[in-house]
Amino acid sequence: MKKVLVVFYTQSGQLRSIVEQLMSPLGCDNQVQVDYLEIKMKKAFSFPWEKEAFFDAFPESFQQIPADIDAPDEQVLHQKYDLVVLAYQVWYLSPSIPMNSFLKSRYAQTILRDTPVVTVSGSRNMWIMAQEKVKVLLKQQQAQLVGNIALVDRAINLVSVISLVNWMFTGEKKRLWGILPLPGVSEKEIQDSKKFGAIILKYLKSDRFDGLQKELVENKAVEVRHFLVSMDKKANKMFTLWSSMIIKKTPKSRKRWLKVFNYYLFFAIWVLSPIVHLIHLILYPLFYFKIKRDEQYYKGIQ
């Protein structure tokens, strides 16, 4: 009997749908036991988000400062798993506070040590640097990253901003104005994630995960858009400055500076990102080989 643990956190329910579809081939196999560990916070994050709470989460999210989580079931802590599937959201270019809190907890050390891990992210589109941060945390817990699946909203960048913000603040997943695409990972991609589960099952039964990521990539489990990689890296530098400044402020001053950060974010998304995109397109031929090397690296698990 192979034993698999799925660790996840979800607000909207999207990530729950993803892991349920992803794990369905394993759950249907009578030689595999699939357990679920949903991360629960001592102080829960609500959905839909209130605007003030959403921006207030920024400094701690980006700085990867953990918060208190509920203890997992003792049965999970005393079980040795053959594989852990770690499913997370991206908040402010970093793993979400709940997932970061788990990965920095003593529970993660018990569960992940010397255990193969497949990471799964469901995000708007910029997941690269968050995954790099997850790699560091897994290494600190002496886990063995063997695979990665990154599901994203495939709408045009600025279109997805509008539809996703509306979903986050209203809780209604709908075609805004009747014309924009639904926000989030498409239902078809969620349903199709079963194929990734079937691939994982094959390697799980073979007791070897060599080649798993290569096969996942061949089946389009990961797409790397270099413009977004470039934006992700640049935004990380700016977020470092903003979060370092805001986190030191008094509560009253913090609120004022978070409002300023809100305006900066609006400017960065609607003015700076189109300019950066244009520059990227112009310079693409000059950096073609570096871009291709980067793409290969970020599709992998090294």
Per-block mean pLDDT, blocks of 10 residues, the chain (302 long): 97 96 96 97 95 97 97 93 98 98 96 97 95 98 97 91 95 92 95 97 96 97 92 95 97 96 95 88 88 93 91
Look at residue 299 in the predicted model and tell me its pLDDT: 95
Instruction: Tell me how far apart the alpha carbons of residues 84 and 144 are, in angstroms, rounded to a whole number.
Output: 10
Look at residue 283 in the predicted model and tell me its pLDDT: 86
| β-bridge partners, 144 | 116
Look at residue 302 in the predicted model and tell me its pLDDT: 87
Residue 103: closest CA among 143, 147, 73, 76:
143
Look at residue 276 in the predicted model and tell me its pLDDT: 84
Look at residue 57 in the predicted model and tell me its pLDDT: 97
pTM for the whole structure:
0.94
Look at residue 68 in the predicted model and tell me its pLDDT: 97
User: 227 CB contacts (<8 Å, ≥6 apart)?
Assistant: 276, 277, 280, 281
